[in-house]
Structures are given as structure tokens and as C-alpha cells.
Chain A
Amino acid sequence: MDPISISVKSITRKYGANVALDAISFDVKKGELFGFIGPDGAGKTTLFRILTTLLLPDAGEATVEGLDVVQDYKQVRKIAGYMPGKFSLYMDLTVEENLKFYATIFGTTIEENYDLIKAIYSQIEPFRKRKAGQLSGGMKQKLALSCALIHKPVVLFLDEPTTGVDAVSRVEFWEMLKRLKEGGITILVSTPYMDEASLCDRVALIQYGKILQLSTPQEVVEKFPFDLYTVSSGDIYNLLNDMKNFPGMKSCYAFGQSAHVAFQKGTLNENSLREFLLKKEHPKVEIENIQANIEDCFMELMDK
């Protein structure tokens, strides 16, 4: 049995009548890259704030590296690195000044743990005299990550580190995370981007304060309960509308220019579907059986 880094037992947190976290329980293994996948309002930020000792739960318990997040909060803060959702560094300090500030607060220096952040920081080092407020989104991310790592944390909490960032920077960021993981740090990441789930060791799909499913990304897609097909016809808008009238269709969602359509296992007759669409004057019809991706699974779980 793998050693546990983070243990969460029945954590509940409310804001007035709004239940942000509803008796959530899960474990994160040491050295794991664990993803919390869900939209805004799912409870991700609330959870991260509780685990980084910034917010008290209403019920339940949690430990980080064996330390209780409430009783032992001071020690948790020494071993945890945190990159919150919004850019939280000082806009009017330079890149270098921000990093030095964080190092000093944690009683260390940039030089002491430079090896750990080198791969990331070296990309923004040429701009070290630039004020943080003048950095692009991708660069801000790299700086925030460097600051979260400067004190050599054992556990890293990254709350939506790629939100609002372009597709290229997102790819680069996840490459950096993989390298960090190889260094043995336990990493807990939250993201609304479904495609990033596949880059994690295990994922928890979260919505409305509850975990919908928790397993490896591969297991999540294997558990998809229906046969899934991409259907394209050159006319996505009418395709979506027409599919609503095809018998046996369990769900139909647009994915770019084609639709992902689900059927009870073994029930679709592809020729019938083709004829149905051609009769509705779709210019061409392409149907292909595919494996579900995380987004397909998330929508199916949401729909229940």
C-alpha cells in the first residue's frame, strides 16, 4: 500500500446556505500528481484553502503529511507550497524581488534551492528586473510557481494554474509539473480543463461540492457506460437538432464540428443512423465508434 501524503475525511464547508463542500473524502499518495477536475463553483478553491490552512472546515478532518490542517497549521504551512487561483504576487515588485521576498519569508535564499526551480525560473530570468505586473500570463504563472517552490515544499497545491492561459503555455506548464513530480513532490492540481485530467496519475471529478468519481484517468474513461460515436455531417447545427429525434440516443453533445453521441451498448445500427441523416439532407455522414474522453465522462456524470 502506497504511503499517503494527504488524507481528507468527510470535510464539509458552507457559505451561508450554500454547501461548497459536502462531506468530501479522499487520499493522495506520496509523489502523486492528483487532479481535481471541475467547473467554477465545484468547490476546488474551498478545498485547497482548507488544506493549505487558510480556511476552517465546518466538519471533518484533514491531514497533510500526517499533520492536522487545523491543530498543526503552522507546520503545514512550512512544508506546503501554494499557488492560488488568481495571480497573487506583488505587481509592483520585479520578478527577482518577488522571489527574494518569498525565499526570505520562508527563511531561505534563492541560491539554496535554485536547482529545484531552475528549469522554470531560467525561462523568466532574462526578465528578472521587470515588474511582475508587466509580465504576460504565461510568465506570471512561471513566477508564481517558482515562488511556491522556493522553500522546497513536500506538497504543492496549485489552484487552477492554467485558467485564462493560452493553449501553448498550458502544455508547457504541464510539462514542468511532470518534471517536478519526478523530483518526488506530491502535487495536487485543480483545473476546469477536462483535457488536462489525462495528464494526472489519478483524478477526482468534482461538481457542486461532491466527488462524482475518483480513479485513474484511464479507469474514468473505461467506466463510461455507453457506446460512443463521433458523427459529423458538415452541418453541426442541424445535426445536433436532428439527433434529438433519433430513437435510442442517450446524449448528444457538440465537440467542434462533430457530435459525440451515446447509445445503450450494442444498440446502434450505424446504417439506420446514416439513412436517417441522409434523408434529412445532411450533405455527408461520417460515423465512427470512439472511446469516451474525460469531458464525455464528466457530462455523463453531471447529467445523472
Chain B
Amino acid sequence: MGTGEENIIVVKDLVKKYGSFYANDHLSFEVKKGEIFGFLGANGAGKTTAIRILCGLSYPTSGTMNVAGFDVYSQRDEIKRNIGYMSQRFSLYDDLTVFENIRFYAGIYGLSKKEINARSARLMEELSLTEVKDKLISAIPQGWKQKLAFSVAIIHDPKIVFLDEPTGGVDPITRRQFWDLIYKAARDGITVFVTTHYMDEAEYCDRVTIMVEGRIAALDTPDALKGQYSAANMNEVFLHLARKKVGN
């Protein structure tokens, strides 16, 4: 996981301003290929703003950014084709079946009909969903939905997958099974960029960055951060960094 040297995301001095308010205040960082990169921060710290820019959904005010080899100013469509995205809020369609959802997303990601058929079958087998392929998403258990949503987000073998609080409100067993899928994807070379409010999940990441008030307050491996702040776990590191600043 994350032992390659190639950088898949390069961000230099990313600034996003709304009027005089700096949502992102000169962010600089790199993410290596195959890394599991944790992007943490208090609410309002600027995480979603930064992710939207990296996904090609929003323009930065200034700075240079390269995602999967493409420039965020001029090559947004190419970025979108080479990434996957999954969030708690935006996921599968409740009123479509398991199979219809897979086929829909695979189509959106530009896979050919032949590829769609082959990958759908493989995906459903891997997740043991073949028997329920014609059931509506609203009718399958939450745990299966989560795992399916993730697998669909990477069905086109993207270079990077962005996960925005993917395990929010999910039961503790499913959360861990979900991270098994993340590990597997990372081992297969997909870079995982994940935000979460579960601090134990921060420990599963290769490196973690913590944003406070639009800036990066920390960026290192969980072990290094725990050592630096004499913390027993990532929760303590986070509280130490974010507590004083969360005045509003």
C-alpha cells in the first residue's frame, strides 16, 4: 500500500476564496499512487471545497493542481473520467435494482456494453449479490448497499477514488468490511482519498492530513502524528489540533 514513488495528485498553493474569505488557504501536498490518504478536518475547515476542486467540479482561485496526470484548469473532463467518487449523500438509486445501478454507473463511466456485462457479473459475484440482482436497492440491507456503492465507484478501474465520509451512520461490522474493500483496492493500485469523522479509520490510512480553518495543520503517517503530539490515538491528535480553533 502506498509504497510507490509516483505522485498521482500534486497540489501547490491551492487557494480558493469567496470574497475575502479563504476557504482553502495555500494548500500544498502530494498523494502517492496506491496510497490510502486520509483527509480530515473540522466542519467548515475547507475539506469539501478542496475535494470538489480536485474532482474537477469547481475552479480554484489560484495555485497549480495535477490529478491523475491532468490539469484541474484545462483538463477537467479527463479528470472526471479517471476518478471514482462515493459519498454518504450521493450514492445508488433506491428505485433501481442492483443490476440496473451497476449498469447505469458503468455506462456513465464510459464502459462498452461488453465490458459492462463482464464487470457487472464479476462484481456481483465478488460481493455475493448475484441472487439479489433484480431487487431494488431500497430492499437490500445497508451493509450490502455500502459495499456495492464502493465497488460501483471503481468499476471503471479509475486511478483515484474519492470517498466523502463513506461510512457515516453505518454499523460497525459493515464499516470494517468496507475498509477491507478499500485495502484491496489500494493493493490493486487504486489511490484512495478518503474523508471521515471516525478517528479509528484515520489509523487505517497510510498518511493523514488535518485541515483547520482552510490550512493544513498536520500531514504525516498516523504513527508519526501520534508520536509528535504524544497521543494514544488519532482522536487525541485531532482534538489537540482542532479544539482551540473550533471557537465558532
Q: With A237-B183, A254-B204 known to touch, is A167 a contact of B44 (CB < 8 Å)?
A: no
- Bound complex: CA of A169 vs CA of B245, how far in Å? 11
Nearest CB to that of B142 among chain A residues?
A: A41
- Bound complex: CA of A77 vs CA of B42, how far in Å? 34
Residue contact B142 to A302, C-beta cutoff 8 Å: no
Chain A proximity mask over B32-44: 1 for CB below 8 Å, otherwise 0:
0000000001111
Residue contact A255 to B42, C-beta cutoff 8 Å: no
CB-contact partner of B170 in A137, A192, A236, under 8 A:
A192
A205 CB to nearest B CB, Å: 11
Set of chain B residues within 8 Å of A40, measured between Cβ atoms: 142, 169-170
Chain A proximity mask over B171-209: 1 for CB below 8 Å, otherwise 0:
111101001000100000000000001011001100000
CB-contact partner of A39 in B43, B170, B199, B233, under 8 A:
B170
Residue contact B168 to A167, C-beta cutoff 8 Å: no
Interface assignment of A295: CB less than 8 Å from any CB of chain B: yes
Q: With A39-B142, A127-B248, A167-B197 known to touch, is A136 a contact of B43 (CB < 8 Å)?
A: yes
CB-contact partner of A255 in B169, B197, B200, B223, under 8 A:
B200
- Bound complex: CA of A303 vs CA of B246, how far in Å? 38
Q: How many A residues have CB within 8 A of the partner chain?
A: 40
Interface assignment of B243: CB less than 8 Å from any CB of chain A: yes
Nearest CB to that of A166 among chain B residues?
A: B42
Interface assignment of A253: CB less than 8 Å from any CB of chain B: yes
CB-contact partner of A298 in B172, B179, B223, B238, under 8 A:
B172
- Bound complex: CA of A51 vs CA of B157, how far in Å? 47
Residue contact B200 to A299, C-beta cutoff 8 Å: no
- Seen from chain A, the residues whose Cβ lies within 8 Å of a Cβ on chain B are 17-18, 38-42, 123-124, 126-127, 136-139, 160, 163-169, 171-172, 192, 194, 207, 236-237, 253-257, 295, 298-299, 302-303
* 9 cross-chain pairs, A with B, having the tightest CB-CB distances, nearest first: A136-B44, A137-B43, A256-B203, A39-B171, A40-B169, A166-B42, A256-B200, A192-B169, A168-B246
**12 A-B pairs (CB sep. < 8 Å):** A38-B171, A41-B142, A164-B165, A166-B41, A167-B199, A168-B42, A168-B238, A168-B243, A169-B42, A255-B200, A256-B233, A302-B171
